[in-house]
Amino acid sequence: MEAGQQLLMSEGIAGMRLTKLTKRLKVSTGSFYHHFSDMDDYLGALADYFNVAQVQGLVAELAAESPDPMVRIRHLASRSLKSSLFALDRAMRVWSASDPRAASSVKQAEKIVLDFIADAFEHIGFGRKEARTRARILLTAAITPLLSSTKEEEKLFREEVLAVLLESEPGGSRQAAPKSGSPPRQGARGGKRSTAKNSAAAA
C-alpha cells in the first residue's frame, strides 16, 4: 500500500497504473492479481488504508504516548511532517474529487483528527465550541499551503499558527484554565502570559 501512496503523491490518480505499481514493487502482474481482482479493487483498498491503518493508527499512538494535551498536538504536527502525511492528505483530497471511496476515507480521517485535536484543546482548558474551532483552524492551516510558499515557510507558518492557538483565549488577556491533571499552559514564546494587572505592577 505504501508503494501505491508514493505513486499517488508523485503522479496523482491519473498516474496510478498497474505497470508503474508493479515496477515500484518489483513484482509481476500475476503476483498482483493473486491479492487483488483488478486495479479498481486495489484502489478501494488503498483508499481504506489511508484512514484505517495510517490516520487511526497515528492518533492511537499519540494518545498513548503522553497525557499532556499540548504535547499530543505538537507531536501530531511533527509526526505528520516526518511521515509525509500532509502531502499524502493533499493527494487523497485531489483523488477524492473523482472517487467517492477516497472522499469517504478523507472525511473519516478528518473527523478522527478533528476530534483528537479538539479533545486536546478541551483538556488544555478551552470550552467545547472554542476547542472545536481551534482544531478546525489548525487542520485547515495544515492542509492548505500557499503555492507561493516554500516548504520551510509552510513549516514555520504551521508552528506560528500552533503557537497562537495554544497561547490564549480570544482577547489575549488571559489563559484558559487547564483541566485537572493538565500542566499550566505556556505562551507562544515559552513563558506564561502576564495579566494586565501584573503588567501594571511591573511597570
Residues 6 or more apart in contact with residue 33 via CB below 8 angstroms: none
Res. 192 pLDDT band, cuts 50 70 90: very low
Structural domain includes residue 81: yes
pTM above the 0.75 mark? Answer: no
Most distant pair of Cα atoms in the chain: their distance: 77
Q: Which domain holds residue 59?
A: 48-189
Structural domain includes residue 89: yes
Q: Output the CA angle 97-156-154, nearest 5 degrees.
A: 25
- The pLDDT of residue 82: 73
109-131: pLDDT as tens digits: 999 999 999 999 999 888 999 99
Number of domains in the chain: 1
Average pLDDT over residues 145-153: 77
| Cβ–Cβ under 8 Å, residues 52 and 83 | no
C-alpha cell at position 143: 492542509
Q: For the domain that residue 138 is a member of, what is the CATH number?
A: 1.10.357
Average pLDDT over residues 176-201: 41
Structural domain includes residue 105: yes
Structural domain includes residue 21: no
Q: Distance between CA 2 and CA 149 in Å, rounded?
A: 27
Structural domain includes residue 42: no
Structural domain includes residue 1: no
Q: Shortest CA distance to 42 belongs to which of 11, 70, 75, 17? A: 17
